[in-house]
Structure 1
Amino acid sequence: MQDLLNDENLTRGEKIEALKGLYEHGRAEQRTASESPMIDDDGLNDTLRNIEKALADLGAKL
Structure 2
Amino acid sequence: MPLPPELQSILVCPQCKGTLEYATTPREELHCHACALAYPITDDIPIMLIEKARSLACQK
Ranked by relative contact order (alpha carbons within 8 Å, sequence separation 6 or more), the top structure is 1
Under TM normalisation by the shorter chain, which class is it?
A: under 0.3
More strand by share: 2
TM-score by length of 1: 0.22
More helix by share: 1
Rg bigger for which structure? Answer: 1
